[in-house]
Amino acid sequence: MFRKRLLGSRRRGATALATVVLLPLMLGFVGLAVDVGMAYSVKADLQRAADAAALAGVRDLKGSDEGAAMANSIATILTYANSNPAFSNIPLVIDTNTDIEFGQAMLDEATGKVAFLAHTMPPGAVRVTVHADLPYTFARVMGFETRRISATAAAATGPRDFAIVMDVSGSMTHQSVESQVCVDLESLGLYTCRSGGGGSDDDDDGGDEDDDGGIGRGHDDDDDD
């Protein structure tokens, strides 16, 4: 009986010792999982901010003055980036000298992908890289303080060929079709057409007129016989 109690107390002591030893390690793994999840969330926010900044910046690449166009584009990119912080409160970091690149977009027909050609003038594309320093929470126990996360996006403009077709024949209107029918029938001597929406008072050979269509049956000389 005494021996069983002694073994039970030893087991309880071993469990308590293992818990004390493994607790920091377990807390470290839990903290690592939480901080990694935060890092993925910040990465998604950075990608959205980079996409918005690149799309907004490429719209300002217009005009004959390339220097002014790039300056306006940089200002727009910074405005959009600063208005989209990561994780709602982590400011973004952009170096205008290295993180904003202007160039051209080139389609690789072999792969079907668009390649960005940096420093190619005139500028028709822009590539933006944004950064954020994520402060760790639980991972500080393991000696990690912050982690820099980055995202890159590129946008380009391209010419679009379009054509405007104008039908000047009047074949798409009801009036023109009716007028052509009148001309054809009048040439056969079957009808007399009114011009300008009203008939002539001096033309008494037209017979009865149809007010709906503006077409009257012509005079038939064979009725006198």
Q: What is the pLDDT of residue 31?
A: 73
Task: Give the span between the Cα atoms of 76 and 87, in whole angstroms.
Answer: 22
Sheet strands (E) in 33-145? 100-108, 113-118, 125-135
Q: What is the pLDDT of residue 175?
A: 58
- Least-confidence region, from 163-167, 171-175, 186-190: 171-175
- Kindly state the average pLDDT of the residues 113-141: 85
Which CA distances in Å does 61 have to 13, 44, 79, 125? Answer: 72, 27, 16, 8
Residue 200 has pLDDT above 80, yes or no: no
Position 155 confidence tier, pLDDT thresholds 50, 70, 90: very high
Residue 221 has pLDDT above 60, yes or no: no
If you average pLDDT over each of 59-68, 73-82, 168-177, which comes out highest? 73-82
Residue 75 has pLDDT above 70, yes or no: yes
Cα–chain center distance at 78: 19
Q: What is the pLDDT of residue 46?
A: 93
Which one, of 161, 53, 46, 150, lies nearest residue 100 by Cα? 53
What confidence tens digit (pLDDT) does each residue in 29-66 have? 777 777 788 888 899 999 999 999 999 999 988 877 88
Backbone angles phi and psi of 28, in degrees to 5:
-65, -40
If you average pLDDT over each of 21-25, 101-105, 110-114, 165-169, which comes out highest? 101-105
What mean pLDDT is reported for the chain?
75
Q: What is the pLDDT of residue 103?
A: 92
Higher pLDDT pick, 16 / 211: 16
Position 119 confidence tier, pLDDT thresholds 50, 70, 90: confident
